[in-house]
């Protein structure tokens, strides 16, 4: 495993963002389930985990969720999770209880180290807007405009954060995400190898999935890159994903050779 974790950024904290894909409300619920899965993986291994941002779905779940996960080789491990994740189950949002397939896309970036100065953000390059945080159904959940939107003018990158009640805290979280995105962009410009950091960007829909989680008519989770498969889907969704991560990292090492 040490051989698989020798990348330039592998020992960094990881900033992991999950985006909803095809599947409507079920895909929003799937994002929330995956946020819980990765938070469970971190917590059970005594890794620090911080929710940096959440954007609620119209009826339930989350459109996106962003976590920062630390600990030894956090990015090295979690980079194995980049890609589209597919869920098959009986939909709790369908009155007819029909089987539904939904998708979510996982993006993982290495955290930029603020103290190293490797990413320099000048105040003049930032545009900052404040707005009210929203909850499920789009309702405003705070009377004070504490949510933050940062626009990096030279690159056009936009980051929002509305998790906390404090403008200052939301700005801090948004800056963490922005630094990570700028670091990835810098690497792209330097070596044209952004795919090594965040994976090839694909749409979250049928045919692009790296892993399938089936909860009906049987329970199973299978990684399509390595064929690693387990039958205890509930344990996987609670955070038991080490087998998938290690199988992928070992297979990637073999491919690199």
Residues 201 and 178 in one domain: no
Tens-place pLDDT, residues 96-126:
889 999 999 999 999 998 766 688 889 999 9
pLDDT of residue 154: 94
Residues 49 and 103 in one domain: yes
How far apart, in whole angstroms, are the C-alpha atoms of residue 156 and residue 130?
A: 18
Domain that holds residue 232: 3-114+192-256
- Contact (Cβ atoms closer than 8 angstroms) between residue 65 and residue 15: no
Residue 94 — φ and ψ, nearest 5°? -105, 115
- Contact (Cβ atoms closer than 8 angstroms) between residue 30 and residue 138: no
pLDDT of residue 30: 98
How far apart, in whole angstroms, are the C-alpha atoms of residue 225 and residue 211?
A: 8
Q: Which of 158, 190, 222 is the last residue of a domain?
A: 190
Residues 147 and 239 in one domain: no
Residues 129 and 160 in one domain: yes
Residues 29 and 55 in one domain: yes
How far apart, in whole angstroms, are the C-alpha atoms of residue 174 and residue 146?
A: 12
Tens-place pLDDT, residues 53-74:
999 998 999 999 999 999 999 9
Residues 99 and 218 in one domain: yes
Average pLDDT over residues 28-42: 98
CATH number of the domain to which 71 belongs: 3.30.70.1660
- Contact (Cβ atoms closer than 8 angstroms) between residue 83 and residue 211: yes
CATH number of the domain to which 146 belongs: 3.30.160.20
**Using CA of residue 253, residue 39, residue 19, residue 215, what is the dihedral sign?**
positive
In the chain the first and final C-alpha atoms are separated, in Å, by: 15
pLDDT at 141 over 60: no
User: Which candidate, 240, 201, 203, 252, places its Cα nearest to that of 86?
Assistant: 203
Tens-place pLDDT, residues 236-252:
999 999 999 999 999 98
- Contact (Cβ atoms closer than 8 angstroms) between residue 64 and residue 53: yes
State the DSSP string of 164-230: SS-HHHHHHHHHHHHHHHHHHHHHHHHHS-THHHH-----SSTT-EEEEEE-SSS-EEEETTT--EE
CB-neighbour burial class of residue 239 (10 A; exposed 0-12, middle 13-18, buried 19+)? middle
pLDDT of residue 246: 95
Average pLDDT over residues 43-59: 95
Average pLDDT over residues 44-54: 96
Residues 105 and 131 in one domain: no
Collapse the DSSP code of 156 into the 3-class scheme (helix H, G, I; strand E, B; otherwise coil) and give the result.
coil
How far apart, in whole angstroms, are the C-alpha atoms of residue 84 and residue 21?
A: 9
35 pLDDT band (50/70/90 cuts)? very high
**Tally of structural domains, the chain:** 2
How far apart, in whole angstroms, are the C-alpha atoms of residue 23 and residue 39?
A: 23
Q: Which of 136, 163, 190 is the last residue of a domain?
A: 190
Residues 12 and 25 in one domain: yes
Residues 86 and 48 in one domain: yes
Half-sphere exposure of 156 (CA within 13 A, CB side): 0
Q: Is the peptide bond before 217 cis (omega within 30 degrees of 0)?
A: yes
Residues 215 and 102 in one domain: yes
Residues 178 and 200 in one domain: no
Tens-place pLDDT, residues 160-218:
998 877 889 999 999 999 999 999 888 777 666 555 565 556 676 667 899 999 999 99
pLDDT of residue 145: 78
Q: Which of 163, 190, 217 is the last residue of a domain?
A: 190
Residues 76 and 134 in one domain: no
């Amino acid at each position: 495993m040490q051989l698989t974790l020798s990348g330039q950024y592998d020992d960094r904290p990881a900033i992991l963002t999950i985006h909803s894909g095809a599947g409507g409300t079920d895909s929003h619920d799937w994002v929330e389930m995956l946020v819980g899965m990765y938070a469970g993986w971190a917590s059970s291994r005594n890794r620090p985990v911080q929710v940096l941002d959440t954007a609620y779905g119209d009826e339930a779940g989350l459109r996106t969720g962003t976590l920062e996960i630390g600990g030894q080789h956090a990015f090295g491990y979690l980079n194995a999770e980049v890609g589209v994740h597919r869920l098959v189950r009986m939909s709790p949002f369908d009155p007819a209880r029909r089987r539904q397939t939904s998708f979510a896309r996982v993006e993982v970036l290495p955290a930029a180290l603020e103290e190293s100065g490797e990413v320099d953000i000048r105040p003049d390059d930032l545009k900052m807007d404040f707005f009210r945080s929203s909850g499920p159904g789009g309702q405003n959940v705070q009377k004070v405009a504490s949510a933050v939107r940062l626009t990096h003018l030279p690159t056009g990158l936009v980051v929002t954060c509305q998790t906390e009640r404090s403008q200052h805290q939301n700005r801090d979280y948004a800056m963490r995400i922005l630094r990570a995105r700028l670091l990835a962009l810098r690497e792209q410009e330097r070596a044209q190898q952004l795919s090594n950091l965040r994976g090839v960007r694909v749409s979250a829909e049928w045919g692009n999935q790296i892993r399938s989680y089936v909860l009906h008519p049987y329970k199973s989770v299978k990684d399509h890159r390595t064929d690693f498969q387990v039958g205890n889907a509930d344990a996987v969704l609670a955070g038991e994903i080490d087998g998938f991560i290690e199988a992928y990292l070992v297979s990637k090492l073999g491919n690199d050779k």
